[in-house]
């Protein structure tokens, strides 16, 4: 689906004479009002003391430390959950806990969160304290089961709470109704990192650090916080940008856990050159593959080991799982387009509903989230993809678009149709749910009606915001390098996109799907290298096209030691003629 190109409004007021004029424009387009909002030093992190209930969490953990209670960390089965679990284990052990283990639910056996079944499975570890990371805020029955067994429960989560809270001993979540913590966008890995900072402060205040128990530098965990934050696609407010910036610096210096180095190695990335994009598209998918197709314990072991050779062996397994996931996803996409009555990825045969529900009995439940995201990107509609989890139950994974809060939509449906949903939870842009298979058709109608009610034509209109045109003097290796260094870029603080009209001088198909182009700006003879990935073969190459309008990113192409600027084309279309100068 072609998107309308709109120049991003410049709502910010930043004034800094030392900044490159283009960076001024880019930051203003992201609402930056003062240079201090761009600072990424650790001193600029919101203090841990401002997170509600964290003092109670620290007191609970301190008492557990004094009594050396057996602690079990229960995480989620995605990359945020895996990094949060690893942060908890590494921190607790460095802070002097002697008995710390983890258990991550297998999504195919136990479902999501702290369920009664996972509490029963935890009996193997005989825990006295359960700490949830990246889950638990909706686990009422699981908490009740744990409490009935005499197990204390500390919930650390970032998902939106429902109307009632579980009866845990302590809940730490920036999205609790009374919480005034400034960063509501923090991922689960960030929440547990803050809790560990609080525990360290408590141990320090009670003078427990000495030669036997040296005070740990918890900044050593920021590589994991960065990966989990990027992988969970949370908004990049300043606090999250600090997490990601600091973590990337550690990875670039190879001051990170061996598991991350091994994952970069199998992905063909050099640590010194990575950015947030590499975390999102090289590391996160390989880590997530364990939870999608197998057991996230494999990914956690990769991040926990301090043995590089062991990390390499596990990273190779994760890479193989990711290749398998790609194969499954490709097949599921083809089936989804057929279900949508498509001739091709770009030709619609029927009027699209406002909200799209898809289901196929053969679909893999570990991949439906990716599928929903792919369809959503193509069609610019909220999408829920469903898979069978039993003879009677379906599991759905939802992905939304700006302007449609998907968890609120599910809450609206659950309130008006209390028999329809078995359970649900999530964020503004992503959510999970389950329902009876016999309810699928009815749910699809109700979901579409709810999206129609809470959307507008403008919300459902596919748009792409750019930072405007570039002059030839700005399309340079120097500026591409500056932009790479001026992030980190991510959700709600996106990497700069530009749009220009170009002369199309040459086009070559690579690997039967990527279009390599040579371009020039109107009135200039300088040749610019560009590439568009995974183009529509029905439209390109188009040897009748001489001019294009393109949305692109500035990138650096490195080949045999040579570095030159390259345009990465996100969207382009042939134009009859170039606009008048």
pLDDT over 60 at 363, yes or no:
yes
pLDDT of residue 579: 60
DSSP for 32-52, written as a single string: --SGGGG---GGGSPPGGGST
Task: Give me the pLDDT at residue 420, please.
Answer: 94
What was the pLDDT predicted at 295? 83
pLDDT for position 577: 67
Positions of E strands within 489-561: 498-510, 514-520, 528-532, 547-559
- What digits encode the pLDDT tens for the residues 124-160? 999 999 999 999 999 999 999 999 999 999 999 999 8
pLDDT of 346 over the 50 cut: no
The whole-angstrom separation of Cα 86 and Cα 130 is 15
In this predicted structure, what is the pLDDT of residue 121?
A: 93
Residue by residue, DSSP assigns 347-379 as: EESSPPPSSEEEE-TT--TTTHHHHHHHHHHHH
From 172-186, 278-292, 336-350, 443-457, the region with the lowest mean pLDDT: 336-350
Q: What is the pLDDT of residues 298-308, one digit of tens each?
A: 999 999 999 99
Whole-number pLDDT of residue 569:
96
Q: Find the mean pLDDT for residues 396-403.
A: 93
Q: How many CB atoms lie within 10 A of CB 344?
A: 11
Given a cut of 90, whether residue 479 has pLDDT beyond it is: yes
| pLDDT reading at 461 higher than 90 | no
Residue 447: pLDDT over 90: yes
How far apart, in whole angstroms, are the C-alpha atoms of residue 568 and residue 41? 30
Q: What is the mean pLDDT of residues 162-169?
A: 94
**What are the structural domains, with CATH classification, of the chain?**
9-36 (no CATH), 51-320 (3.90.1640.30), 340-454 (3.10.310.30), 464-574 (2.40.50.460)
pLDDT band at 345 (very low <50, low <70, confident <90, very high): very low
What is residue 291's predicted lDDT score, i.e. its pLDDT? 86
pTM confidence score:
0.90
Helices (H), 95-128: 116-121
349: pLDDT confidence band, cut at 50, 70 and 90? very low
458 falls in which pLDDT band (50, 70, 90)? confident
With residues binned 3-state (H G I as helix, E B as strand, rest as coil), the percentages for the chain, rounded to 5, are 40, 20, 40
Label residue 150 left, alpha or beta by phi (over 0 means left) and psi (-120 to 50 means alpha). left
Confidence of residue 105 (pLDDT cuts 50, 70, 90): confident
581: pLDDT strictly greater than 80: no
- At 343 the pLDDT is 41
Long-range residue pairs from 61-67, CB within 8 A, at least 24 positions apart, any chain: 61/154, 61/195, 61/199, 61/202, 62/199, 62/202, 62/203, 62/206, 64/97, 64/128, 64/129, 64/152, 65/95, 65/96, 65/97, 65/199, 65/203
E runs forming strands in 364-521: 383-388, 393-399, 423-426, 430-436, 463-466, 498-510, 514-520
Choice among 73-77, 182-186, 340-344, 557-561 with the minimum mean pLDDT? 340-344
Q: Which residues pair with 454 in a beta bridge?
A: none
> What mean pLDDT is predicted for residues 216-230?
97
In 3D, which of 129, 131, 103 has the Cα closest to residue 117? 103
Percent of the chain predicted with pLDDT > 70: 96
pLDDT for the residue numbered 344: 37
Q: Is the distance from CB of 304 to CB of 89 less than 8 angstroms? A: yes
Whole-number pLDDT of residue 1: 57
| Position 355 pLDDT exceeds 70 | yes
pLDDT given for residue 112 in this prediction: 76
Which pair of structure tokens corresponds to residue 348?
A: 């619609």
Q: Mean pLDDT over residues 331-335, rounded?
A: 93
Give the chain's count of helices (H) and strands (E): 17, 19
pLDDT at 29 > cutoff 70: yes
Q: Look at residue 576 and tell me whether its pLDDT is greater than 50.
A: yes
Q: Does the structure show a pLDDT above 50 at 43? A: yes
- Residue 450 phi, psi dihedral angles, 5° rounding: -65, -40
Mean pLDDT of the chain: 92
């Amino acid at each position: 689906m072609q998107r309308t190109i709109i120049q991003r409004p410049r709502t910010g007021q930043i004034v800094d004479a030392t900044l490159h004029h283009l960076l001024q424009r880019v930051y203003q387009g992201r609402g930056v009002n003062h240079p201090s909002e761009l600072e990424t030093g650790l001193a600029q992190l919101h203090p841990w003391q401002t997170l509600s209930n964290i003092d109670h969490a620290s007191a609970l953990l301190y008492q557990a430390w004094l009594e050396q209670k057996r602690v079990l960390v229960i995480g989620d089965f995605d990359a945020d959950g895996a990094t949060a679990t690893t942060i908890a284990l590494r921190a607790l052990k460095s802070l002097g806990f002697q008995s710390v283990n983890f258990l991550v639910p297998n999504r195919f056996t136990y479902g999501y969160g702290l369920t009664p079944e996972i509490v029963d499975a935890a009996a193997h570890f005989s825990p006295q304290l359960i700490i949830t990371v990246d889950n638990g805020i909706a686990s009422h029955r699981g908490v009740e089961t744990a409490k009935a067994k005499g197990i204390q429960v500390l919930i650390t989560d970032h998902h939106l709470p429902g109307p009632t809270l579980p009866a845990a001993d302590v809940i730490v979540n920036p999205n609790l109704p009374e919480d005034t913590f400034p960063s509501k966008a923090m991922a689960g890995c960030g929440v547990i990192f803050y809790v560990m900072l609080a525990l360290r402060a408590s141990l320090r205040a009670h003078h427990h650090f000495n030669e036997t128990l040296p005070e740990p530098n918890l900044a050593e965990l920021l590589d994991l916080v960065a990966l989990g934050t990027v992988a969970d696609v949370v908004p990049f407010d300043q606090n999250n940008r600090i997490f990601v910036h600091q973590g990337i610096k550690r990875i670039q210096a190879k001051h990170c856990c061996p598991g991350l180095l091994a994952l970069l190695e199998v992905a063909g990335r050099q640590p010194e050159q990575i950015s947030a994009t590499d975390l999102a598209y090289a590391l996160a998918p390989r880590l997530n593959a364990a939870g999608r197709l197998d057991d996230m314990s494999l990914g956690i072991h990769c991040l926990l080991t301090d043995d590089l050779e062991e990390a390499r062996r596990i990273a190779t397994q994760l890479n193989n799982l990711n290749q398998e996931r790609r194969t499954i996803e490709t097949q599921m996409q083809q089936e989804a387009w057929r279900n949508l009555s498509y001739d091709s990825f770009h030709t619609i045969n029927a009027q699209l509903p406002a909200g799209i529900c898809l289901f196929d009995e053969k679909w893999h439940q570990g991949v439906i989230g990716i599928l929903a995201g792919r369809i959503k990107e193509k069609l610019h509609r909220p999408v829920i993809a469903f898979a069978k989890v039993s003879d009677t139950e379906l599991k759905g994974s939802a992905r939304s678009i700006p302007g449609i809060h998907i968890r609120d939509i599910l809450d609206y449906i659950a309130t008006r149709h209390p028999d329809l949903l078995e359970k649900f939870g999530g964020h503004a842009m992503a959510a999970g749910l389950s329902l009876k298979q016999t309810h699928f058709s009815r749910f699809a109608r109700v979901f579409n009606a709810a999206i129609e009610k809470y959307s507008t034509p403008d919300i459902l209109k596919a748009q792409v915001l750019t930072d405007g045109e570039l002059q030839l003097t700005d399309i340079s290796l120097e500026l591409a390098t500056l932009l790479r260094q001026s992030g980190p870029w991510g959700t709600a603080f996106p990497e700069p996109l530009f749009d220009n009209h170009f002369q199309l001088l040459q086009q070559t198909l690579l690997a039967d799907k990527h279009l390599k182009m040579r371009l020039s700006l109107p009135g200039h003879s300088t040749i610019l290298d560009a590439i568009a990935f995974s183009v529509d073969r029905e439209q390109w190459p188009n040897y009748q096209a001489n001019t294009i309008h393109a949305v692109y990113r500035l990138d650096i192409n490195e080949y045999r030691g040579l570095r030159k600027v390259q345009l990465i084309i996100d969207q382009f279309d042939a134009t009859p003629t170039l606009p008048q100068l």
